[in-house]
Every structure is written in structure tokens, then in C-alpha cells.
């Protein structure tokens, strides 16, 4: 799987939008971009994923550049509960057995302050 | 939240003893995973399973074995625990919704301390 690069930490004021960048310059055409987060002492939580079109769900929006070499996760109105480590993961299509595994990097620590 | 339970949640064991961690799911998902998390390393895959009795190694499989005799249970065994295996262990499950699309749900973790 392609590697990703994320800033180690970011700050955001409560109520403002949090924009978390991710670089994946070696991404292949069949690889998806996934975002997870991990709140302290809890298991990771799936947020959103996409291939090349922008995606939105109840938690966040994912903006993928046209060349697919980078993406941005947007939390539109950050709350204190959004303080967590956010992981950007590039994931290939499944192998011969139809599965594909997640490879986590070190992520971005997002601190939302009052 | 997905029905995924890890047991025990906390365990302290002595070096050289065998340890088995259990992951139980009620979602009937095909794929199950064991990860470990250590400071400075993020999450690293130990082993995964893509069906009953079908397992494969991940990035850090040395010193670990797994078994999956039924869909709902995935066991991680440390045959002879070492201090380097002190870590937080997470189980995850996923299902292939369509080709190339999978989502994973994670358990709450097991904190293992080897003394």
C-alpha cells in the first residue's frame, strides 16, 4: 500500500472547521483513501473513505485532489469530543482472497480547544 | 456500535507464560484482525483472518499465533509472553460491501502487561 504523510499535530477552535491534510503522492489508481480516528484509550473509529470523488457523511467531508496525490478531511464544526488522533490510510483493492488490510501510520493529533 | 467484544480487557502476566486473548463478534463479518498499539508506532497488524480456519500473518506476527474455529471468535495466543509484548491489543472486524470497499469496526482493546 502507498504511504501517507500527515502533520503530527494540529489545533482547532471549538465550532470552527478542522481541515486535516494528507499527502499520498504514490497512490495507485485502484487505491482508496480512508480516514479513521482514535479517541484516547478507545479503539479506532471509521470516519469516511473515497476513491476520487469528494465524499460527505454525517461525520465529515473528504476532499480528494484531482490528481489524487493528496486529500483533506474536514470536520465542519469541531467539538471538544473531536479531539483525537486522525489516521489517513491508503488501501488497495483486495487480494486473491478478497480481503485488504489496513496499515496505520502515526496520524495527526487534533486538539480542539474551547 | 458494532457487536465486537474483547476479553479480557486488562491482564498482567509473567514472562514465559502463555496468554490467549479473545475477540468475539455478533455481526457475522467475514474478516477479523488483531492489531497491537505501542507509543511511537501507531497500530500494527499482527494477524488477520479471511474466513473460518483461514488466517495469515501481518506486519508483526513473530511470537504470536491465531485461531479461528468459528466465524464469531478470533483468538490471539502468545505462546510464551515476553516483556516486548506488553501492549494494547485491538481486534477489528470488517465485511466486503462491494469490491474494494470494506469498513472496519474495532473493539475497545486489551491492555496486556508482561512482567
CA distance A21 to chain B (A): 18
Mean pLDDT value across residues B100-110: 79
Give pLDDT, residue A3: 86
Tell me whether B96 touches chain A (CB under 8 Å).
Answer: yes
> Residues 6 or more apart from A23 whose CB is under 8 A from it?
A4, A5, A6, A69, A70
- pLDDT reported for residue A53: 85
Mean pLDDT within A8-21: 97
Average pLDDT over residues B41-49: 89
- The Cα-based distances of A106 to A4, B37, B44, B80, B114 in angstroms read 10, 10, 10, 29, 24
User: What is each CA distance from B36 to A66, B33, B86, B87, B100, in whole angstroms?
Assistant: 35, 10, 9, 6, 24
Residue B101, beta-bridge partner list: B98
Question: Of A46, A87, A107, which is closest to B103 when you measure between CB atoms?
Answer: A46
Query: d(Cα A13, Cα B90) in Å, to the nearest integer?
Result: 31
- Judged by a CB distance cut-off of 8 A, whether residue B90 touches chain A is yes
Task: Check CB contact under 8 Å for B96 and A43.
Answer: no
Mean pLDDT calculated for residue range B24-49: 90
pLDDT band at residue B39, thresholds of 50, 70 and 90?
A: confident
Across the A:B interface, residue pairs with CB atoms under 8 Å apart total 67
Contact criterion met (CB < 8 Å) for A94 and B102: yes
Class of residue B32 by CB neighbours under 10 A (exposed 0-12, middle 13-18, buried 19+) = buried
Amino acid at each position: 500500500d502507498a504511504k501517507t504523510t500527515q502533520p503530527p499535530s494540529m489545533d482547532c477552535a471549538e465550532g470552527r472547521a478542522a481541515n486535516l491534510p494528507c499527502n499520498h503522492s504514490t497512490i495507485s489508481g485502484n487505491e482508496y483513501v480512508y480516514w479513521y480516528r482514535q479517541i484516547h484509550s478507545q479503539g479506532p473509529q471509521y470516519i469516511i473513505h473515497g476513491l476520487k470523488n469528494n465524499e460527505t457523511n454525517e461525520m465529515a467531508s473528504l476532499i480528494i485532489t484531482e490528481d489524487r496525490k493528496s486529500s483533506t478531511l474536514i470536520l465542519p464544526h469541531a467539538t471538544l469530543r473531536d479531539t483525537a488522533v486522525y489516521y489517513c490510510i491508503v488501501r488497495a483493492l483486495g487480494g486473491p482472497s478478497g480481503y485488504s488490510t489496513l496499515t496505520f501510520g502515526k496520524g495527526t493529533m487534533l486538539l480542539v480547544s474551547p | 456500535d458494532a457487536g465486537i467484544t474483547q476479553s479480557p480487557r486488562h491482564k498482567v502476566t509473567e514472562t514465559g507464560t502463555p496468554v490467549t486473548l479473545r475477540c468475539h463478534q455478533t455481526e457475522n463479518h467475514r474478516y477479523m484482525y488483531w492489531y497491537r498499539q505501542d507509543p511511537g508506532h501507531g497500530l500494527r497488524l499482527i494477524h488477520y483472518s479471511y474466513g473460518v480456519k483461514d488466517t495469515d500473518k501481518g506486519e508483526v506476527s513473530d511470537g504470536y499465533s491465531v485461531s479461528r474455529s468459528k466465524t464469531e471468535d478470533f483468538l490471539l495466543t502468545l505462546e510464551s509472553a515476553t516483556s516486548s509484548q506488553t501492549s494494547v491489543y485491538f481486534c477489528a472486524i470488517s465485511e466486503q460491501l462491494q469490491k474494494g470497499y470494506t469498513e472496519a469496526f474495532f473493539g475497545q482493546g486489551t491492555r496486556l502487561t508482561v512482567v
